[in-house]
Copies of this chain bind each other. A is one copy, B any other.
Amino acid sequence: MDQFKILYRDSKSKARAGILSTPHGSIETPVFMPVGTQGTIKTLTSDEVNDLGFRIILGNTYHLFLRPGLETIKKAGGLQKFMSWRHSILTDSGGYQVFSLATRCKMTEKGVEFSSYVDGTKCELSPETTTSFQLDIGSDVAMCLDVCPPFPSLKCDAKDSMERTWRWAKRCKETYQDWLVEKFPDKEQPRPLLFGITQGASFPDLRRDSAKQTAQIDFPGYSIGGLGLGEPRKLTWELLEASLEPLPLSAPHYLMGFGTPEDIWEGVERGVDMFDCVLPTRNGRSGQAFVSAGRINISNADFKEDFSTLDPSCECACCRNYSRSYLCHLFRAGELLAPRLLTLHNLHFMISLLRKIRLSIIQGSFLQEKKKYLDGLCEKEKIYS
């Protein structure tokens, strides 16, 4: 069965609105996925994430592989049951985290060796193990193991990484197909998906080559990796376009690690369907709130006696109940309720934004709405930091 259906296409841009089906339900796209690194969207219960309206979240293979580990999650009946989440989960492959976070990391053609940050033991991730790990814990959308070069990179290094990513992608797909035959033989039901990842660093021609090669392997979806690593945003969008161009239009496109409101508008315009980012949750924990005019830091002294809500147009449980003054007090007093309330608010902000974007695609007003939104930010640029 076709698990991704595009329902509306914008006539003036590449934006599209669709439905992605997984073993744990359907997801309206474009979608923003909150990051639940260690099997929890930090500070929130699964019920709260559900009540906010999210139907897919992200889990990090690197962290879950090390703690609590495959055996515990399998005994719990899968990651969904373990964390009491009824809907879909997308998992990354762990590659990015291994390269950026792990110590004593050593890569060969076989895979990656590294030391566990939990207990120092030597661990290995290969295209085969990361694919089966993701599928075995109950991932609905799994990722191929990729090699993500830093920015800037030499072109020869970028090419090597891209080619290894492509060779690994073929091994991931083999593991995936064997797993499906054994565990999910029924082709009429939504099955877990494996996305190929395109790389190519900051070189448009490599981006195009990587996407072409990856598309030839034929995946049910494609991720654009290795962007947002410090390159200027103008280049980001040029590289994104180069990556997207060779990919099948009918497949879902996932731009990894992007999640500011501006980035989401830009990505959707170019044909991206899926986004994830730690920003709304991580920045929420440090006091930064998304508001219609941009972002504010609530621990700022300006808010000590500001008895209005974070965002007057917001209907989240934080804004329904608490003032900026109270939130400012909580942050200054180091209270644990503070990161929780701002996480809730920021995720409510994100899901409202994605609903607005999707509706504008359906109504044929995407570019107008995008302009209106970005103009709204610029007018009040001084509070946008």
Chain A residues engaging chain B, CB cutoff 8 angstroms: 38-40, 42-47, 63, 67-68, 71-72, 75-76, 82-84, 285, 304-305, 307, 317, 321-323, 325-326, 329-330, 332-333, 335-337, 339-341
Contacts and interface: CB of A to CB of B under 8 A. Distances in A.
Given A45-B317, A45-B337, A317-B47, A76 B325 contact: yes
Nearest to A337: B40
A357 B38 CA distance: 40
A71, A84, A337: which has the most chain B beta carbons within 10 Å?
A337
A259 to B, nearest CB: 20
A330 B47 contact: no
Contacts of A339: 336
A42 B337 contact: yes
Given A67-B332, A336-B336, A82 B45 contact: no
A336 B72 contact: no
B307 A76 contact: yes
A330, A335, A341: which has the most chain B beta carbons within 10 Å?
A335
A329 B68 CA distance: 6
A72 B323 contact: no
Contacts of A305: 71-72, 75
A110 to B, nearest CB: 29
A72 B325 contact: yes
7 contacts: A38-B329, A46-B321, A82-B329, A83-B326, A84-B326, A285-B336, A336-B336
A337 B82 contact: no
